[in-house]
Each structure stands twice: as structure tokens, then as C-alpha cells.
Amino acid sequence: MTLTADNFDLLKSVNDCQISDLKRIQFDRSNCMEFYRRVRNVEAAVIHTYQLTAHAALREDDAGKASCFWKDMVTFCDSVLVLLKELKEKYPDCGASEVYNVTLDYRVQAQNHYIENLQDSECQTIPEGLFPQVN
Amino acid sequence: MSDDTGRVISPSELGRLAELYLRFEGSPDPLSVACKEAKQEFDLLVERIYTEKVASNNQSISLIKFRSYARVYCRKIWAKQWPNYPCIGPERMQIADETGAVAQDDDNA
């Protein structure tokens, strides 16, 4: 399957559902199981979205377009972090802190890719003689 | 300084840069040691090439700019190659040939 903007819209809507579910549902504080299961789903979404973003961004020969993919990943991580910050206080010891930390790590990496690709987008025309032509 | 083919950067250096770039820019696991080491090695190799071959003859090009040019160049190589996900990994990556081009692997041919 070719990754396109439509695929990413679909992925975004699935991710939004995961987040809104977690926001909406009231969990039993004495039983972490259901909460933990859903938080792990959000972690899986963060990791998988990162992998798709890395793959899609690498296919772009325009660094500016690649930076847009990474910007979306940063935005997704931010929305997860806002939610998890609240939930890890509301349901301590139910696994949200760990997922918060993983998401934060992925957010840092996505932000680095975003900034580097943005810088690269201003250097798309390579001076002659430095590198051979890409055939 | 250029090599005996008249190019500033050798084909083997280009191949190594492209390989390392794929390992960190296309890594499915950004927290892995392999990804971090590839990024570090890429930056060190770029710095070495810049110091030894670029800086003296191209004073208008800073190291930061040269690093971006190297990344842009590697991006163009891999964008043409379209890596066959999820097979991005050291064992599947192709080293550039003598012309600096990266060959397609069998699955992509």
C-alpha cells in the first residue's frame, strides 16, 4: 500500500478515537486493568504512528514535505501528553506514567526530525561539485 | 581537496553516509542504541569530510549547511529507492556502488 495523505487522515482519525475514548471513560480506581489496557493502546498508537511517519517521510525527496509529517507527529504526541499528564495524577500506579515517559521520548525524537528537516528544506539546492548527481 | 575522479567526496564515503542516514532517519525505533549510534557516526563522518575536504575550498559553506546538504543528498537517494518497509535494517541495506548510486535490492527490483 502506498502511504498518502489519505492514509494519514485515516490514521489520525483512529488515533483521535483512542484519545477521546481515554478522555471520556471513567475508570474504577481500584481496578487498573481496563485503564491500563487502553493506555497501552495509546502507547501502541504513538509507536506505530512514529514508524509510519518515519517511513513516509523517508519517501519524500523534499525535506520541507518530510518536515510536515514530523510536525504532525509532534502534534499527536502533544495531544497524548496533555491527556496522560491529567490521567497519571487521576489514576496513579496504573501505568500512565510509563506511557507518558515513552511518549515524551518519542516526542523529542520527532521534534528533532522536524527541526532538522526544516533546516534541510532551506538547503535543497546543493552547490555543484560537492556530491555527484543522483540518478 | 578532491579524489582522483575529481569528486570532493569518495563513493565509499557517500555509501556510508547514505547507509547511516537510513539507519537513523528511517529507524522504526528512535530509542534504540543502533539508531543513536548511526546518527552519531553520520554527524562525525560529515564533520570529518567537511574538515578534510570541504572547508578550505568552500568558505561560504558552514558545517551546519554542509550537514544539511549531506542529509538532503541522502534523502534524494532513498526517496528514489523507496525502502521496502519494514525491512529497513542493517542486514537489508545496500551500500552505494562506485558511482555513488544505491542499488535496488532483489525484493524491490
Q: Tell whether A63 lies on the interface with B, counting CB pairs under 8 A.
A: yes
Query: Nearest CB to B72: which of A54, A57, A63?
Result: A63
CA distances to A68, B11, B59 from A133, in Å? 26, 12, 22
Q: Which residues contact A15 (CB under 8 A, 6 or more apart)?
A: A45, A49, A76
Render pLDDT for A72-125 as a digit per residue (tens, 0 to 9). 999 999 999 999 999 999 988 899 999 999 999 999 999 999 999 999 999 989
Chain B residues near residue A51 by CB distance under 8 angstroms: 28, 86
CA distances to A4, A93, A94, B38 from A90, in Å? 38, 10, 10, 39
Alpha-carbon distance of B53 to A95, in angstroms, equals 51
Q: Which of B21, B68, B71 to probe by mutation at the A interface, max A CB count within 10 Å? A: B68
Render pLDDT for B30-65 as a digit per residue (tens, 0 to 9). 999 999 999 999 999 999 999 999 988 888 899 999
Q: ipTM of the assembly?
A: 0.86
pTM of the model: 0.84
Render pLDDT for A25-59 as a digit per residue (tens, 0 to 9). 888 877 788 889 999 999 999 999 999 999 889 98
* Of A14, A9, A21, residue with least CA distance to A83: A21
Alpha-carbon distance of B43 to A38, in angstroms, equals 39
Alpha-carbon distance of A57 to B22, in angstroms, equals 11
